[in-house]
Structure 1
């Protein structure tokens, strides 16, 4: 534990690393702030039914990925998921389309072109998803009185533009975190969104478990222990490496080589989970 705290203290002694951490935290705070900004023309005090509708099921998962922005009718309601979808589509299209296959083999220039294609495809996905989200608000329990200016085109068109711009801005934040911060920016945005809903989930779980005196508190303690074990195993899996031995012949003073068995042995660290 002492070594852990020493490592944390040493981080702030490295100016470049300290700057990257500050940039990362700052951009993540901007993303979390945007997730709380409600779309213009919607009364935020009447979104209780929307929060209940997006509390479970597939909508609950999407809401967790967006950090609650979906249930807040936020400017970041679509989150970063359109960009993830576009990236998956481009990767799959790279198998069947020769042009994309050629770009994948062109190195850095090809990667930049693929990233540009992914961005444009992200905008296309947002243009489809944004109106669908806005029109589904009523079905998700948002009353008509919550729409201050009604649900006409004078509300739909600006809201679609804002939602598309919100996703593009979130995508830009992720890329900036990757370039100027620490880690993969898109993954960090998703992680922060999930973590943001954890305190509320823990409180709800605690209340539901302790409502009846039937050993619910003990079950919750077991759940927390299992949760920590799963996290520990995931970390070990991501960090695990397999050492591939490499044998080098040792040079003698006369310039020749001795047998390999006399040489120095080194290892190539190969990640056990290459995708992690």
Structure 2
């Protein structure tokens, strides 16, 4: 039975079938929670205001919440506070070595880190929820209607607790999906939120074709462009530099170990989607403050930092390149890798162990990180070009595209691993029968 037959019959594997069912149930619960409104909000007034604030941090977060922020449901914050808490803990490894040691303690260390991440997530949710409630009380819809029905401390406390509870529920749901389904549950929730916006985009595009604003030829060109970008993104996400590693033979007791050849894979995009998230958060911060705090300096900065402008896109690309190098330096330590290779008798052909290996790895990583940073910057700047120049009625590219491709590749890899395991178990059973 070849790989194609396995893919066609993967639902016949009980374990895989159960995990896929759990995945679909978890995503269905998430989509149900997206439509539960937060008490005390005038939904129509907030939606009309939200359309004007699509260029702020709210518009960015709405992409990952699957429309929950647009509806201002209890899941409006989504899992972004959890992601922010995880990133903060990873950045703190540079300042606090004790946190870095937890990453090396195995399951016990990961469990402690999970506790710290949850507590930090709750703190972030409380701060964001309370700040949003204060901001909403000062805002009105374009027609003058108030966003908050009855302002006051009751509304602030209710909103803060509702948003915090909704976000923590999604975190719990994501952890359950990670344990019982396929892939990372938090990533799957973000993936589902982004994909949920694809169908309205398709409907808007078809409507434009029906009304004659888009021709069929133009639609075909757009589809070919989208397909090419997807192929390019998949290629770059899988691209890696494989550095050959040789292990010297050594005798341990009566056994001789080593003498094998392996490789060290260095991904072109080592930092993943973290750099554009950091860059967007920084760029959207003045714009968001300009909507909540009536200070002239924020309004002036907001007028210069308009998405689609040359200055905005140049700063955005520069921040992405900076954070690509910054985050790669945090998660990959050439000195540590070189020391581990030397400890286990491994070496790179033509490179001396120790300091020379560290310098070689640092030099190679610097070069491929430049390629990865330029690729991420290109993918993230692309949506503004497509919307401004081609008048596309939907947002395509950027951080959302990187997440969708990354999660899809991860799911396919895990499904393939289940298929290989199933095939291996069948092979072992057949072998035992033949021996008997």
User: TM-score, normalization: structure 1?
Assistant: 0.79
Larger deviation, residues 96-105 vs 126-135: 96-105
Map of 1:81 onto structure 2 = 80
Structure 2 equivalent of residue 182 of structure 1: 182
CA shift for structure 1 position 180:
0.8
State the partner residue of 1:95: 94
Q: Deviations over 1:212-264 (max 9, x none)?
A: 65x6543333222221222223233344566777899xxxxxxxxxxx9xxxx
Looking at structure 1, the residues matched to 77 and 140 of structure 2 have their Cα atoms a distance apart, in angstroms, of 15
Residues 122/56 of structure 1: CA separation in 2 closer, same or farther (3 Å cut): same
In structure 1, list runs of 5 or more residues that go unmatched. Answer: 249-259
State the Cα RMSD in Å: 3.2
Describe the superposition over 1:124-176 as per-residue Cα deviations: whole angstroms up to 9, x where unpaired.
0000000222233353638656645x122222212211110111111111111
Q: Secondary structure at the match of 1:125?
A: helix
Change (3 A) 1:201 1:121: same
Deviation (angstroms), 1:186: 1.2
Question: Which protein, 1 or 2, shows the higher relative CO under an 8 Å CA cutoff with sep ≥ 6?
Answer: 1
How does 1:55-204 map onto structure 2 within 5 Å? 55-137=54-136, 139=139, 141=141, 147-148=148-149, 150-204=150-204
TM-score (norm. length: structure 2): 0.52
1:229 has 2:228 as partner = yes
Write the distance in 2 (CA, Å) between the matches of 1:93 and 1:246. Answer: 31
| 1:211–1:181 CA distance, 2 compared to 1 (3 A) | same
User: Does 2:8 match 1:9?
Assistant: yes
Contact 1:75 1:162 in 2 (8 A): yes
Structure with more of its chain in helix, by fraction: 2
Partners of 2:140 and 2:147 within 8 A in 1: no
Distance 1:85-1:183 versus aligned 2 partners, 3 A rule: same
Matched with 2:39 is 40
Contact kept, 8 Å, 1:50 with 1:137, in 2: the verdict is no
CA contact (8 A) 1:86 1:121 kept: yes
Any conservation in 1 of the 2:67–2:193 contact (CA below 8 Å)?
A: yes
Stretch moving more, 130-139 or 84-93: 130-139
Query: What SS does the corresponding residue of 1:42 show, helix, strand or coil?
Result: coil
Alpha-carbon contact 1:53-1:140 (below 8 Å) kept: no
Q: Deviations over 1:4-47 (max 9, x none)?
A: 5x444311110000000000111011111101111123344544
Query: Residues 184 and 126 from structure 1, CA distance in 2 versus in 1: closer, same or farther, beyond 3 angstroms?
Result: same
